[in-house]
Structures are given as C-alpha cells and as structure tokens.
Structure 1
Amino acid sequence: MSMTDELTLDVQALRAEFPVLGRKVHGGKALVYFDNAATTQTPKAVLDTWVDYFERYNANIHRGLHRLADEATQAYEHSRDTVREFVNAEDVREIIFTRGTTEAINLVAQSWGRSQLVEGDEILISRLEHHSNIVPWQMLAQEKGLTIRIIPVDERGELDMAAYRALFTPRTRLVCVAHVSNALGTVNPVSEMARIAHEHDARILVDGAQAVAHTRVDVQALDADFYAFSGHKLYGPTGVGVLYGRFSLLEAMPPWQGGGEMIKTVSLEEGTRFAEPPHRFEAGTPAIAEVIALERAIRWVTNLHFELLEDWEQRLLKHATERMKGIDGMRIIGEAPHKAAVISFVVDGAHSQDIGLLVDQFGVAIRTGHHCAQPLMHHYGLDATCRASFAAYNTLEEVDYFVDALQRVVTMVRD
C-alpha cells in the first residue's frame, strides 16, 4: 500500500490555515488565488513564527552574548540545518541564505563565475529560463568575453536533449537550467542534464524556485553543483532565499560582498581574512525573522507529504486542462508530458492583460505578461500569456469557477 493510499490531503482544513483565502473581493466575490507561481500565500503558523521573533527575541545574531542574541542565533542556525535536511545537502556549510533565487544566482555569477571563467569559456542556458538565470550571465559574458549558447525548446515546451548534448565543447564550463519552468510548468530532466554536464567537466546551476513547493528535492540525487530557491514561493516570507553549493566549490570561491560577519579578521595594515562558507557569503545583518519563518514554512510543507501534494496538484492540473480545452479559441502554451501545476494560455483575438483584468472582476487572481521569460515568449511568437498556477490549498470547485468565469470573459471580449 502506498502512502497516498494510507493518507489523504484535507484541503478544506488546509485552507483554514490561510487567513487571506477567506477574503471577499470586488463586491463580495470569494477570492480564488491562482497566482501561486509568482507567490504562494502564507499559513498562520508561518506568520505566527515571524511575529514571535519580534515579540520575544528580536536581536542580532552571532555577535551578542546576551540571552536574546543567543536565542536568535540558535533559531537562525537551526533554520540552516532544516534547509540542509530539506534538500538533502551533505553538509550544513553548503547552505547560504540570500534574499531570494535572483540574489543566489547573482552570487554564483559574481563569485564563482568571475573567479573561474575566462575569455572564450562557454555557458549553456535553456530558452525556458527566467530572466534571473539569463541576465546575470549575459552581464558577466559581456564583461569577460564569454559565449552563451542556447539549449532549444520544442513546441511542447520540452528541452531538446539531443541538441543539448551537441552543444558541449571543450570550452563549456557551466549549464544554467530551471528545475521547473515558471512560464510553462515544464519539469526539466535535471539529473540527466547534470550527468551530461559532468561528463564534459562542466558545472550545473539549477533554478529551483518553481520546484521546491511541489516536489521533493534531493540535491545529491540531482547531482547539482548549485541549487537556488526562494521562500515566498514555498509558503514562506518574501526577502529570503537559499543557495545550495557543493562545499568544494564554495570553499574555493571568493566573497561577493564585504562587511560584517563574513570575516575572520580585519586589519588596516595587513588586510582581511575571510570566514569559511557559508558565513563568507552572508555579509551584514541578514533577514533574521524571514530565515526563521522560512524554517517553519519548510516544516509546514514537508508535513503535507510531497506524495499527497503532487497527486493533488496533478489532479487540479488535469481537471483544469480538460475543462479549458473546451473553450473555443483558447490555446494552452506548453504541453510537456511532465508538468508542474501551471497552465499558460492565450485566447485568440484577446490581449492577455484584458483577460486577466476581466477574470479578476470575478475574484480570480491569475498572472499575465511575459513572466520574466521573454526569450521563451518570442519562441512561440508571443508577447505575453495568461498563467494559472495551483497550490496545495486550491480546489476543484475553484477550478470550475475559474473556467466558467474564463468562458464568460472570452464571450465578452468577442461580442
């Protein structure tokens, strides 16, 4: 008997943990929140943890000897160990706290990339990437004379793995790829991509922002060299994220930012000696409350059991896909066989922004635009799509309400 046979996900009980889901908008309509790929909502347990820090032990960490400083430091470092366990890192020193996925990727670019890459080296980047896994590498490439080569994507939204293998040359040093596409929901074969990269003595950086809230992540099984994610897409707070890095790489990397906390000693005459990872990469006072709240969010989502969570989100995705395909003129963009709970779509003869604004009048929150994935949009000949993305607290009834509202909106824009 599988775990999903023994346990069930009580979605209604789950929803009661999210105060915002009880809101009424636009004249008393129930809020239907389908913008989870941008930011998930936050359960009361996480909110309480954040407030508890400020009410009981608000103090700076690592530097004080008093009781509050000690409690804050212990809670902060306990969060680091929880993250280590969450992604199955080998060593707690491989976990660096950042402001989010974007800062984590920039840290790798400015520290590892700046120190390890030289003119003529090549970086492989998939066409599915979020701008945060493109722009830092473009900036570095322009500065250092690097070459960026593009891993193509097919019409279903899958990476062309044959083309990926063919892109490697003796100058390939790094692969940058999303675990899950934020714009399409495509789940990329990261472990296979890592194996191929390592066969060519290249490193791989994985943007895990869209993966960690939806599937169990094991950085050792994936064989990722770097893995980045954000708290606010994991039922946690904004302003905090994580960079996992293989310790042998972190140990050889120079600091990115200088200041307090990341030093061993500072001398005006003899210079500065830097701390070991991870503190070398955490200059200044960090987002202490957010890191502690992130630990609570991780425990919350882990307690749901990922097998149940994935099964429920796939039910939502399947039901929404089947019903939406019944809308005349509606076209889903990206139908890879292995997808997370994201549906990107366009409506013939209607601008995505108009669709989003009108659906919002029914109380349904979706995302419209290029989703910080303009190269991917251009691949499909589009400037923008609408995107509905689901989370553990969404229901089949909400999906039905959304599709009915969407049908009415499509009729409205055509009349």
Structure 2
Amino acid sequence: MSRLAAVSARGSGAGRGEGVDFWLLSVALLLSGLGLVMVLSSTGIMAERFYADKYYFFKRHLVFLIIGLGVMSAAAALPRLLYLRFAYAWLALAGGLLLLTLVSPLGVQAGGATRWLSVGPIMVQPLEISKVALVLYLASFFSRKQEMIRTFGVGFLPPVCITGALCVLLLAQPDFGGAASLMLILFCMSFVGGTRLVYLGATSFMALMGGIFLVMSSPYRFRRWFAFLDPFQDAQDVGYQLVQSLYALGGGGWLGEGLGAGKQKLFFLPAAHTDFILAVIGEELGFVGVSVIFVLVGVLLWRGLRIAKLQDGLQERFVAFGMLLILALGAMLNIAVVLGVVPPKGVPMPFLSYGGSSLVISLFCVGVLLNLSRSATPLGSGRNGAMA
C-alpha cells in the first residue's frame, strides 16, 4: 500500500465538501498580482529602450494573467474526469509538443536550445505541459497498481520508462534542468506511491551518474554548473549572473530601495524579469518583501497538502499532491538558484516570473486543487487517519 494512500481505502472523492479553498485562492491571486507589479518594475527601462514602450512586457504579462485566471476558473469548474480519465491523452499531447520543438519549423531556438514552440504571436514551452501530463499519468498509475506497486516489472519500470522518454526529448533540446525537474517529480510521487526504496535509490544513483557525465563532457557546462560554489572567482563570465543576484539581494537591506528604485535591473542582472525576479524583489522590497513571498508560498503549500490529505479517492489524492509538487519544486528550485544554493538554471518562480507558459500552468495547478477542495472531506467527519 502506498505511503500516501496507506491511511485510507479507495474512495470516490465525492461526499461532504468544504467548498472552494479560500486561502489557496487568495494566496494565488496575491502572488499573481505581486508578480504583475514586479514585472512592470523590472522591465520598464528595458522595454522602453528595445520596444519604445515601457509597458510592453507588463501588457503581455497582463494578457497571460487574464488567460491564466480563465484557465484556473475552468480547471476548478470542469468535471474532474478531465484529469482522472484522460491521463494518457495528456501524456501524448506533452510528448507530441516536445517532439515538435525538435522536428518542426515551429520550434524556436534561443540561447543555443530549442525549448519553445511558436504559433503566430503565441509562444509555448512544452516542458510546463509535460509536468502536468507526468503528474496525471503517475497519479493514474499509482492509484491503479497499488497491489503490485512494490514489484519491479509492473510497479516500477513503466513510470521510469515513460519519464525517461520525456527526459530524452528534453535533453535533445537540450534542457538539462527540465529533465531534472521531471525526474524529481517521478522520485517524489514514486516515494509517496509506495515504490521500494532500493529501486528509488538505484535509479537516483544512475540518474546522478548520468548527470555528472553530461556536466563533465562539456567544459563550459562544467564551469557554469560549479560557478555557484565561488561565483566571485569568475564574476565577469560564468559567475556574473549569480554575483549580480547577490548584489541585488544584499543591497536591499531590511526594507529595500523602494518599489521601482532597484539598480540591478538596469541591464546588470540578466533575466531580471524571469528567473531572477526574486532578486529584484529583494533589492526593492528588502528582507521584509522576500519574507512575505516565503510566507505566501508556505501558506500555499499548507493548503495544498491539506487538500491532498482530505481526499477520499486515491487517484484524487495523488493528483492533488502532484499539482502541489509542480508548484513547490518550481518555487524551491528558483529560490535556491537565486540564493546561490544550487547551480544556476532557468527555473521561473511560479506566479511571479514573466512568462506565459509558467504562469498559465501554475494557475492551472491551483485550479485543479480548487476543484478537488470542493469535495474534500471535512476534518472530524469520521475519516480514519491522516496523510503521512
């Protein structure tokens, strides 16, 4: 029996619902609104210089936010069969989009990698859809295979092969960080799903060895991945971005320079409006502003875990945990990169970073959690146990 499911038997997921989780909805809206403000603050000068319109990125992000809110509302209202019965359709969609980036003229190359699809004015990053598809597939798999989940051939090998196929397509782009994200999702969901620890340990070791080989095989990649250990040693090359991020965070002090008054966004800090927007927040809103972000993310994780815990249906419980996992991993990896705890890699901050794909998928995950919260069994209603 899985660690996530051992505390309760299979159920229908219906019953005495608590209604939409107001706390989760409020936090998602607050973070999204703050992200809109910080995108304007971090892009005004750049947009005016390159596009002669200081609101260029702000207006685009506002459109992404409106679309994302529509997607969130639909995900919260639509029948959950869309997530529970069509996992393989989602998987096929994700694999097809990843393949299109490699073999079709729709693929957009940037920074030496082809990670985007362009359809007219719309840019889509298939990686974000792949995270959702993988979660839905794993939720379906672990809920159906509980009796054999601790076997190698039936309970362990299929999800590893499916995830591996998606990772191969990502590495072909190349997107090393994206492949690592999918492997982390697989590891976490397999752990709570009941997979034997020896299988997880062996697979993690093999994945680590493969990652080390990829890093060691490229001198530039090796320097870039280990620059975070001492970024000031090569502050004008591979350590430049992290050094500028640390300058921004250090310059903010307790209360920050003031909204809009940051200096690192003035063409010093690369990707200030995307992957390193947290550094801009630290410089302009200070330790207090960053702390508020951390608290909001903490509340989001608390409410997401609570929704997963209160699901009666096994598959619904896995889906809730997986959607929360997408948001949690994105936030923690982005924070770790900005603070220099892990090697720099393109990981957007959910809700805050500029970018349509990340924002829409983050709000979609919230929508699914809100959908599931409507049928969560209230505490004290006679359910036995709690999620471990």
The reply to whether TM is greater than 0.5 is: no
Return the structure number with greater strand share: 1
Higher relative contact order (CA 8 A, sep 6+): 2
Q: Which protein is bigger by CA-based radius of gyration?
A: 1
Normalized per residue, which structure has more helix? 2
